[in-house]
Amino acid sequence: MRTIAIVNQKGGSGKTTTSVNLAATLAEAGQRVLLIDLDPQASASLWYGFKEKGKGLYDVFTDGTRMEEVIEATSVERLSLIPSSPLLAGVEKALANEVAAESILKDKFHNMPEKPYDFLLMDCPPTLGILSLNALTIASEVLIPVEAHVMALHGLVQLLKTIGVVKQRLNPTLEIAGILPCRVDYRTKHSQEVLDQLRNRFEGKVFQSVIRENIRLAEAPLHVKPIIEYDPLCNGSHDYRKLAKELLTVQQPKPATVTSAF
């Protein structure tokens, strides 16, 4: 099983759009996928039509609730979801005195009696707090969506450093699956320049696939459907199918050291 944390501390970089739609295109390609929504904003959960219920991910973090108790089926065959809850915003505080709080999710996942999944994807919040650290501790790979805008590049070096520290201290087998350029608009010179810069500076770490700017991707959550159900033939569906294919072709990420990019 491949466990992928979808991370970027910068808000609005395409994490949720990528989590929701990559989960769907991997499932479409025959993979069994579990998506965990680790963001208190609950955008991925709402996208699949889930609102807060009683027991939720907060209880998995803070009491004896088992992970299998909070897994839900989605409209997409082979895709299951652990929805978020706004209570998750309080997890940081609730776990302030907990020893090894960053590995709670990993322990709970390992204790699941059955794991009928090929992929575990985790949509992280735009902070590198305890929720994202839990994702990075359980993950074998990190996928970093980056908006194709020059401002978005600034935080990237810092993020790679943080991932390097996590690798050193918490999760030695963590690798970078890839940096994913999102909202790419080939009509603008700026977008193309940022893409070139990304490929030059982070050579070998940027996916061949890119996600183009596509209004259908912004509309899809309002229709409570992943892009391949909302508009199967649009650019967004094409791009996320291509990304799924690329991930499946490159079975495991290249064993690159995460600190070698700078």
Ligand X SMILES: Nc1ncnc2c1ncn2[C@@H]1O[C@H](COP(=O)(O)OP(=O)(O)OP(=O)(O)O)[C@@H](O)[C@H]1O
Contact 55, 70 (CB under 8 A): yes
Positions in 97-126 near ligand X (CB under 6 A): 126
- Give the nearer residue to ligand X in terms of CB position, either 66 or 129: 129
| CA–CA separation, 242 and 159 (whole Å) | 25
Q: Should residue 182 be labelled a site residue for ligand X when binding is judged by CB under 6 A?
A: yes
Residues 15-44 that bind Mg ion (CB under 5 A): 15-16, 43
Interface segment toward ligand X; rule CB under 6 A; list 63-71, 91-99, 209-217, 253-261: 209-217
Q: Which residue is nearest to Mg ion (CB)?
A: 16
Per rule CB under 6 A, is residue 5 in the interface with ligand X?
no
Q: Does 134 bind ligand X (CB under 6 A)?
A: no
204 binds, among ligand X, Mg ion, none (CB under 5 to 8 A by kind): none
Q: To 10 degrees, the CA torsion angle through 122, 123, 127, 128?
A: 10
Site membership for ligand X, residue 211 (CB under 6 A) = yes
How many angstroms from the chain centroid is the CA of residue 103? 18
Q: Does position 17 bind ligand X by CB under 6 A?
A: yes
Q: How far is the CB of 69 from ligand X (least distance, A)?
A: 25
The answer to the question of residue 13 lying near Mg ion (CB under 5 A) is no
We find the least distance from the C-beta atom of residue 6 to Mg ion, in angstroms, to be: 9
- Give the helix ranges, DSSP H, for the chain: 15-28, 43-47, 57-62, 91-94, 104-110, 130-138, 150-169, 189-201, 215-219, 227-230, 235-249
Q: Residue 16 or residue 45: which is nearer to ligand X going by CB?
A: 16
C-alpha angle with apex 199: 159 to 23, nearest 5 degrees?
65
Choose, by CB under 6 A, the member of 12, 90, 129, 155 that binds ligand X.
12
What gap in Å lies between CA 225 and CA 127, rounded to an integer?
Answer: 26
Rule CB under 6 A: is residue 43 a binding residue for ligand X? Answer: yes
Per-residue DSSP letters for 199-261? Answer: HHHTTT-B-S---B--HHHHHGGGGTS-HHHH-TTSHHHHHHHHHHHHHHHS-S-----TTTT
Nearer to ligand X, 13 or 85 (CB): 13
Closest distance between ligand X and the C-beta of residue 89, in Å?
A: 13
Q: Is residue 124 within 8 Å of residue 15, measured between CB atoms?
A: yes
Contact 153, 146 (CB under 8 A): yes
For the bound state, the minimum distance from the C-beta of residue 97 to ligand X, rounded and expressed in Å, comes to 28
Judged by the rule CB under 6 A, the positions of this chain that interact with ligand X are: 11-17, 39, 41, 43, 126, 182-183, 211, 213-214, 217-218
